[in-house]
Amino acid sequence: MAKGRIVTFKIFRFDPQVDDKPRMVSYQLEEAPGMTVFIALNKIRAEQDPSLQFDFVCRAGICGSCAMVINGLPTLACRTLTSKFENPELTLMPLPGFELIGDLSVNTGKFMRELAERLALYLHPKNEDDNIHAVEQRIEPEEAEKVYELDRCVECGCCVSACATKQMRETFVGAVGMMKLSRFALDSRDARDDDDFYHVLGNQDGVFGCMSLLGCQDTCPKDLPHMEQIAYMRRKVAGIPIFNK
């Protein structure tokens, strides 16, 4: 059986609690059929360097934990085959724009929680019924399809790291914040109106700060319609009638 090619992984290493400065460390592995960057990282940690830090949970592209910058592109390690790269040298960096925990591990959870609190990313029901046994209000299937399409976001942070505005302005909510708020703007069960959304997103930290460079759209591993929803919220907070949501 023919051996696979040797793949070199140049990995960012820095533990803020121990190290004085970051460095790049190279590791080599023999490529196996179907090898992903995630599989390679686990193999490196098991066989070469147990101190290597990176995140994972599901290994199937549905948790978003293993997001990192691979050869300059924010993406999921578990969905990136090493065989897709003609050059067998891969550079792995942590996602920019987030608090670094160590090496390739960043604290996306802290960012997402603060974003949810800032934008009130939860349903504001029109009917304030405290009865926990009440039947959930129904919505039409067409509306449900639009709403739950946006619920596919795995909060991986790729769109945040690929956003030039976010890198320049720390207070910018990013595509993930605007898309998640759009999910509630589309939901007929939510009591908020255009004026409420304007006070949250109608500024340079919201929809009017987006430069439409498509970084979010290009890097989203779930292929979510970021720019479509940003445009929708932009029209909404500007008071432009929307006939077809």
Q: How far apart are CA 93 and CA 105, in angstroms?
A: 9
Alpha carbon 164 to its chain centroid, in Å, reads 15
46 burial via Cβ count (<10 Å: 0-12, 13-18, 19+)? exposed
Place of tokens 């724009």: 97
The arithmetic mean of pLDDT across residues 63-89, rounded, is 96
Instruction: State the DSSP H helix or E strand holding residue 167, giving kind and residue range, or none if neither.
Output: helix 164-168
What pLDDT score does 242 carry? 56
Mean pLDDT lowest among 47-56, 104-113, 122-131 = 122-131
- What type of residue sits at position 40? A
- DSSP state letters, 135-156: PPPP--HHHHHHHHHHTT----
Structure-token pair, residue 137? 């209000």
Other Cβ atoms closer than 10 A to 178: 29
Cβ pair 154, 221 in contact under 8 A: yes
What pLDDT score does 16 carry? 94
Tell me the pLDDT of the chain averaged across its residues.
Answer: 92
Domain boundaries, the chain: 6-105, 107-238
Is the pLDDT assigned to residue 244 strictly greater than 90?
A: no
What pLDDT score does 33 carry? 93
What pLDDT score does 136 carry? 79
What pLDDT score does 60 carry? 86
The arithmetic mean of pLDDT across residues 170-196, rounded, is 94
What pLDDT score does 245 carry? 46
Is the pLDDT assigned to residue 106 strictly greater than 60?
A: yes
Tens of pLDDT, residue by residue over 125-165, are 887 766 778 777 888 999 999 999 999 999 999 999 999 99
Q: Nearest-CA neighbor of 192 among 243, 122, 108?
A: 122
Same CATH topology for 6-105 and 107-238? no
Q: How far apart are CA 78 and CA 37, in angstroms?
A: 6
DSSP state of 91: E
- DSSP state letters, 218-231: HH-TT---HHHHHH
Q: How far apart are CA 27 and CA 40, in angstroms?
A: 10
Tens of pLDDT, residue by residue over 218-237, are 999 999 999 999 999 999 98
pTM of the full structure:
0.89
Of all residues in the chain, what percent carry a pLDDT higher than 70? 96
In CATH, what number does 107-238 get? 1.10.1060.10
Is the pLDDT assigned to residue 243 strictly greater than 50?
A: no
Q: How far apart are the first and last CA of the chain?
A: 56
DSSP state of 133: T
Fold classification of 6-105 (topology level): Ubiquitin-like (UB roll) (3.10.20)
Tell whether the torsion through CA atoms of 91, 92, 94 and 100 is positive or negative: negative
